Amino acid sequence: MEIRPLASGLGAEILGVDLAGPPGDDTVRTLRTALLDHVVVFFREQMLTPQELLSLAQCFGEPGEYPLVRGLPECPLVIPVIKEPHERVNFGGLWHSDTAYLEQPPMATLLYALATPPLGGDTLFANMYLAYDALSDGMKNLLEGLCAVNVAGKPAASRTREDMRRSHATRANDTELEAVHPVIRTHPETGRKALYVNVAHTQRFEGMTAAESAPLLDYLFSHQITPEFTCRFQWQPGSIAFWDNRASLHYPLNDYHGYRRVMHRVTIAGDRPC
């Protein structure tokens, strides 16, 4: 196995491992360490059925349900993420941390590519450890005591789900999903602090109005995607991205209109941010 860093901010490609096994205990420990070190890791040329993808996720924790979109009939915990050639909006197409509006957001996500456009459709990732570290001491002190209200139904985020929910919606209503989390969270495994807000789901600071919260939140939303904190992954069929949802944001680019893109996604249950 070879671990090849992708960028100075975060990300590494892992070569020489077959994930369809699933991998043995020693390999799982190595991959988990790589995930904690690099925040997001990538694999190429993998061939996984939905059940094999789910089994891979189970090596790292308990797979969780996505509340708003149904999974595959034969494997309900695997969510199909599909953009058809005629569709103009891509699922999750803005910077976000997965389901921050849940009381216990996922600890990690696995995304597997089955069909990709000939160009475009890359995904950007950002390191929230670095976003926190780069803040001034005064800003860190200000944010340390704040919590933020995170919701599923912010209009920009809801629009990115419209096509998927038209064909795969659950009975859940995105206007009812809301959770309050600290703006600065401490990673339960590394002990490092990370900035935990995102433009897709963070609505306001607890105890403040949206209007009062907006100036500071807008600054944080801009700060956390500073280019030096990011990396970019170009998908191919058989590629897998595995990211630590507790310390990262991601953004799937919507620059491939007229082409079909098919991914399978599994999230791994996490704990309540603190």
Residues known to be catalytic: 96, 98, 250, 265
What is the distance between the alpha carbons of residues 185 and 273, in angstroms, rounded to a whole number? 6
What is the distance between the alpha carbons of residues 90 and 123, in angstroms, rounded to a whole number? 12
Total residue count of the chain as it appears in this document: 274
Question: Can you tell me which residue has the tokens 């991959």?
Answer: 31
What is the distance between the alpha carbons of residues 165 and 78, in angstroms, rounded to a whole number? 15
Q: Is the peptide bond before 22 cis (omega within 30 degrees of 0)?
A: yes
Question: Can you tell me which residue has the tokens 């600071």?
Answer: 205
Question: Can you tell me which residue has the tokens 């990709």?
Answer: 116
